[in-house]
A and B are shown apart, each in its own frame.
Chain A
Amino acid sequence: MSTLLNQFVLESREILQNLSEKILLLEKNPHDKNLIHELFRGIHTLKGNSGLFNFELMNQVLHKTEDLMVAIRDNRIPYSKEIADLLLNVLDFISIQLDEIEQTGNIKEESLRNMAIELSQSVQTYIPNHQAGNSRKGKKQQESKKSDTSILLQENLKRFLIKIPEDIRMATFEKAFSKQPLQFVLYQPEEECFFKGEDPFFLARNVPGFIWGQIQPRKKLPPLSEFDCYRCFLDFLVLSEAKAEELLEHFKFILEQIQIFEVSPYCLIIPVGKPNGGPVYGDFVYEGLLLLERGEKEKLLSAIQTLSNLSSPELWISSALRWLRILLEQKEPPIEHQVIRRLLQSIETLEIPDFSDLVASSSTNSDHLETPSELRSKELVPTQDPVSSEILDILKTQHEILSFPDNDRWFLGRLKACYQTLKGCNAFLQEPEPTLESAFKKSLDTHSPAPLREWIEEILNTQKKHQESSAETSIDTQREIRPASPQERSAEYAQRNVSDIRFGRRAEDQPGSRILKVDQTKIDRLMNLVGELVVAKNSIPYLANKVEKSYGLPDLSRELKALYANMNRISDELQDIVMKVRMVPFSMIFQRFPRLVRDVSQKLGKEVNLIMEGENIEADKNMLDALTEPLIHLLRNSLDHGIELPEEREKIGKSKTGTILLRAMQDSDRVFVEVEDDGKGIDPVLLKQKAYEKGMIDENQLETLSEKDALNLIFLTGFSTKENATDLSGRGVGMDVVKNTLEKLGGTIEIQSVLGKGTLFRLSIPLSMAVTNVMIVETNEQSFGIPMSCISETVRIPEQEIHKVKDKKTTVVRNRILPLFSLNDFLGLPSKQKTNSEGEFSVLVLQINEEPLGLIVDDFKEVIDVILKPLEGSLAKLACYAGTALLGDGSVLMVLNIKELLKCL
């Protein structure tokens, strides 16, 4: 299980616990607004978190519950004990899922689907459906409002449709008429939507089945100077050929901001062009109507052809004629005469024909002319209106019952029972089906439930179609057939739920968690204290020495040393534990990279496979935090400059998909992170050329610089910036910043690259930055600290083995030439380095940028752990000191920053 998921489970448990407390409290004070707000927030957080992991069922139930909480918060429904029960059930449901996630890392959706559906439904029964208007009062308001809005919408719709180019309208018409009804979506985002991270335009552009869209200001837009660019004042109108369900799914999180209307394809018939009427047209209309009456379509078509040959295509009449032809040529199903008649008449009046009262549907009988009232009822209405969903539910259940395996003993009784139920339902259907009786008889005769089942299927199918173009008239019937008020039903549900969805456990019944959350500052404080303890402990050996030498008490000294050993062990262990507490696995930072790589590679049109290794390796949290930015930069670089485009890769015989390997490894007290790609690599010659052009290296270096050194040029300040000014790089973090960041952490970065094969960046950082291991050295009778991280060994070199090459001291150590420098020279101390009694110099072999270097000091002292405090105030400018540390005897040790010091060379 990933760390993120683990975190989710932990957090969710905490929220659940919190919520169930709130629910119980709320039972005592049902009017406490704060509690309700807190409940809502808790549910909201849970929902958001579950959404991250794509736990669909959990999210679905929580989404509904959130709606319920909104309704309660807005005082649309009162908080009641039943709701409390339901909420607790929801919490239990979540808890079960969390258990499963914890055990298996995932949810077996199937096993819980029924529970989820049942829960969602019971939650739904409480929510006053503001779109369908569940309550009587709500419905009345809805109705009066609807008539207003529908006029407004029709106006909107007309203005919208007329802007669609004629050819698109025609193509859409033909498609829409025979196949799919059209949907018109009016999306009115809320003003604050930008603050929620929404981009309404993006949503509108990606509407399924998109045909045409338009943006329009909701009101007059203010002048630029007064304009608040973080509020949304735009509405979006979209014409789509998708099903209403698909659209609802697309807008599922902002359903309250959209209105969907089914649009009759006839609404697309809008002739456009220059008006240029005349008597000829009047004659044509008269003749055309006559031909239509007689059903002589062919003659009418040829008349249209003649007239359109005579008219300029930009004219209004030509456009109308084009439409006429399309209407007449429509064969399956043919267009109603009424439509053609109206269009013909419009040629005389030059007014856009009004078809808004007509509904075109492949399911209606072709020549069936509807009465005006019937027609009006099929006006543009929200598809949301459920046509007697209860009846449909009953029908579905009966269908299910009839599908049970036959059993002679029960068959007859079951059939009769179903028949009675169906008869009851039939009475409430919009158009009662007289065929029920005969279906029942057939079933009895054949001794098979099939005829009745088929009858139900038929009803369900037609109902489904009706639902899509549902009518206002059904509302009245619906109201009557509603079996019980929401309150009554909720009571019913609640009763059922108590027994059904209790699942035998409570959300709080979770096993006690072994994990304690602690504020990071507390850990930091603890770390500091441990550090001080280490320093304090270090003073004991001083004391022991003093006791022995100054006071001549060797026994006491020995005891002190034994005590020190003991304390040392304890403090080491303590330090170890505290360090471990601060350790977090690399997966914490690695987790965000797959997404980054995915997004960036998509943007660049590249195919990249990211492999991550060593996610379990742990390092200090501060270290990891500081490492994130450099890693992001390196990944971006690899994606942008390293990996080639798929076509290029194929051409040179690489696999189309590039690979980036991100690997964390641990080696004693250091952690290595590698970013390796199999891209085109870096060309050292090109780098040298670039650096030379920019005057960063001279002509001599251009010739002599080794490949490796050339690669290191990319770390120079100001080197990479110009070349990489794409929108990916150039975010203010150049390679030089990456290097500096790492060096600040006490880390290093190295680069290996093979042209055409790929590039590898290896980052190395200490496991922790709290305690630094330093060696104390003596020079000119002063003590200095040198971090052990850069010391590779200490050697003593006799004076005669030191050679001078052109005034530079060198020696040979282990068959390697070692340049020597004197610390006194670096520090500007006038005295010469001292030798020991045998005439040997003390030399520290340092590894700086992979190069060995000998530093001559007067003497080596012990190695100690210190807490490095950076220099403050004006001293902070002294880059050659890494910081100071307090020694056991109370003196201050200056710790050198060797890399900075070498710059003084």
Chain B
Amino acid sequence: MPIIFKENITFLENIVGIEEAEELLKWLETHKEGAVDLSNCSHLHTAIVQILMVARNPVIQLPTNAQLALWLRTAFQDYLKENKGEL
């Protein structure tokens, strides 16, 4: 599964396709403060990016993939809360 939901944090990993969109949306709706960790993500489908932009949940880790991070840093800049280890 490219998405792992934990109690108050969700990990998006590898390639996250549009199939995961609805589930992610549901989770974000019920976890308004739920954090998003993208560190192991290599690609997000447009729909997923869009959901994250609409939900504005805190993004605590950008992908290690530099080019993807470059895109997402500006897209998520208002709610980007890159943590340094805790949580």
At the interface, yes or no: A265 with Cβ under 8 Å from chain B? no
* A674→B44 CA distance, assembly (Å): 37
Residues A210 and B67 in contact in the complex (CB < 8 Å), given A224-B29, A227-B51: yes
* A214→B28 CA distance, assembly (Å): 23
Contacts of B18 in A (CB 8 A): 194, 199, 230
Q: Considering residues B28, B45, B50, which has the most beta carbons from chain A within 10 angstroms of its beta carbon?
A: B50
Within 8 A of A (CB), among B19-76: 21-22, 25, 28-29, 43-47, 49-51, 53-55, 67-68, 70-72, 74-75
User: A234–B1 contact, CB under 8 A?
Assistant: no
User: A727–B1 contact, CB under 8 A?
Assistant: yes
Residues A229 and B51 in contact in the complex (CB < 8 Å), given A205-B67, A727-B2: yes
User: B67–A202 contact, CB under 8 A?
Assistant: no
User: B71–A213 contact, CB under 8 A?
Assistant: yes
- Encoded as 1 (CB less than 8 Å from any B CB) or 0, chain A from 219 to 256 comes to 00111110101101110000000000000000000000
Q: Considering residues A199, A204, A222, which has the most beta carbons from chain B within 10 angstroms of its beta carbon?
A: A199
User: B53–A201 contact, CB under 8 A?
Assistant: no
The main secondary structure of chain B at its interface with chain A is helix
User: B44–A201 contact, CB under 8 A?
Assistant: yes
- Encoded as 1 (CB less than 8 Å from any B CB) or 0, chain A from 742 to 777 comes to 000000000000000000000000000000000000
* A216→B75 CA distance, assembly (Å): 7
User: A214–B74 contact, CB under 8 A?
Assistant: yes
Q: Which of A200, A221, A229, A234 contacts B22 (CB 8 A)?
A: A229
**Nearest chain A CB to B87 CB, angstrom units:** 22
At the interface, yes or no: A817 with Cβ under 8 Å from chain B? no
At the interface, yes or no: A189 with Cβ under 8 Å from chain B? yes
Contacts of B53 in A (CB 8 A): 215, 217, 221, 234
**Nearest chain A CB to B26 CB, angstrom units:** 10
At the interface, yes or no: A179 with Cβ under 8 Å from chain B? no
User: B21–A201 contact, CB under 8 A?
Assistant: no
Q: Which of B2, B46, B50, B74 contacts A163 (CB 8 A)?
A: B74
Residues A224 and B55 in contact in the complex (CB < 8 Å), given A189-B46, A199-B18, A232-B50: yes
* A200→B49 CA distance, assembly (Å): 11
Which of under 10, 10 to 19, 20 to 34, or 35 or more describes the interface residues of B? 20 to 34
At the interface, yes or no: A93 with Cβ under 8 Å from chain B? no
At the interface, yes or no: A323 with Cβ under 8 Å from chain B? no
Within 8 A of B (CB), among A187-204: 189, 193-194, 199-202, 204
User: B74–A727 contact, CB under 8 A?
Assistant: no
At the interface, yes or no: A212 with Cβ under 8 Å from chain B? yes
Interface size on A, residues (CB 8 A): 30
Residues A222 and B54 in contact in the complex (CB < 8 Å), given A205-B67, A205-B68: yes
User: A233–B50 contact, CB under 8 A?
Assistant: yes
Q: Considering residues A200, A224, A230, A232, which has the most beta carbons from chain B within 10 angstroms of its beta carbon?
A: A224
Contacts of A727 in B (CB 8 A): 1-2, 14
**Nearest chain B CB to A596 CB, angstrom units:** 16
Closest chain A residue, CB of each to CB of B24: A229
Contacts of A232 in B (CB 8 A): 46-47, 50
Contacts of B29 in A (CB 8 A): 224-225
* A391→B39 CA distance, assembly (Å): 55
Contacts of A199 in B (CB 8 A): 18, 45-46
User: B46–A200 contact, CB under 8 A?
Assistant: yes
Contacts of B70 in A (CB 8 A): 212-213
**Nearest chain B CB to A201 CB, angstrom units:** 4
Contacts of A222 in B (CB 8 A): 54
**Nearest chain B CB to A291 CB, angstrom units:** 38
Contacts of B49 in A (CB 8 A): 201, 215, 234
Closest chain A residue, CB of each to CB of B72: A215
User: A234–B50 contact, CB under 8 A?
Assistant: yes
Residues A221 and B74 in contact in the complex (CB < 8 Å), given A194-B18, A727-B14: no
Within 8 A of B (CB), among A473-492: none
Q: Which of B14, B21, B43, B75 contacts A205 (CB 8 A)?
A: B43
- Encoded as 1 (CB less than 8 Å from any A CB) or 0, chain B from 3 to 19 comes to 00000000000100010
* A711→B47 CA distance, assembly (Å): 44
* A227→B47 CA distance, assembly (Å): 11
Q: Considering residues B44, B47, B55, which has the most beta carbons from chain A within 10 angstroms of its beta carbon?
A: B47
**Nearest chain B CB to A813 CB, angstrom units:** 53
* A210→B72 CA distance, assembly (Å): 15
* A230→B17 CA distance, assembly (Å): 12
Contacts of A213 in B (CB 8 A): 70-71
Residues A215 and B74 in contact in the complex (CB < 8 Å), given A194-B46, A210-B67: yes
- Encoded as 1 (CB less than 8 Å from any B CB) or 0, chain A from 680 to 713 comes to 0000000000000000000000000000000000
* A194→B51 CA distance, assembly (Å): 14
Q: Which of A212, A224, A230 contacts B54 (CB 8 A)?
A: A224
* A233→B49 CA distance, assembly (Å): 11
* A212→B69 CA distance, assembly (Å): 11
**Nearest chain A CB to B11 CB, angstrom units:** 13
User: B21–A214 contact, CB under 8 A?
Assistant: no
* A412→B43 CA distance, assembly (Å): 64
* A234→B54 CA distance, assembly (Å): 11
Residues A227 and B71 in contact in the complex (CB < 8 Å), given A199-B45, A234-B46, A727-B1: no
Q: Considering residues A194, A215, A232, which has the most beta carbons from chain B within 10 angstroms of its beta carbon?
A: A215
* A227→B50 CA distance, assembly (Å): 10
Residues A214 and B75 in contact in the complex (CB < 8 Å), given A194-B46, A199-B18, A224-B29: yes
**Nearest chain A CB to B39 CB, angstrom units:** 17
Please name the 6 residue pairs, one residue from A and one from B, whose CB atoms are nearest each other, closest first.
A201-B46, A215-B75, A229-B21, A221-B54, A200-B46, A227-B54
Residues of B within 8 A of A (CB): 1-2, 14, 18, 21-22, 25, 28-29, 43-47, 49-51, 53-55, 67-68, 70-72, 74-75
Q: Can you identify 14 A-B contacts, CB atoms within 8 angstroms?
A: A163-B74, A193-B46, A194-B47, A199-B45, A200-B46, A201-B71, A217-B53, A221-B50, A223-B54, A224-B29, A230-B18, A230-B47, A234-B46, A234-B53
Residues of A within 8 A of B (CB): 163, 189, 193-194, 199-202, 204-205, 210, 212-217, 221-225, 227, 229-230, 232-234, 603, 727
- List 8 additional contacts besides A194-B46, A194-B47, A201-B71; criterion CB under 8 Å: A204-B71, A215-B53, A221-B50, A224-B51, A224-B54, A227-B51, A229-B47, A230-B18
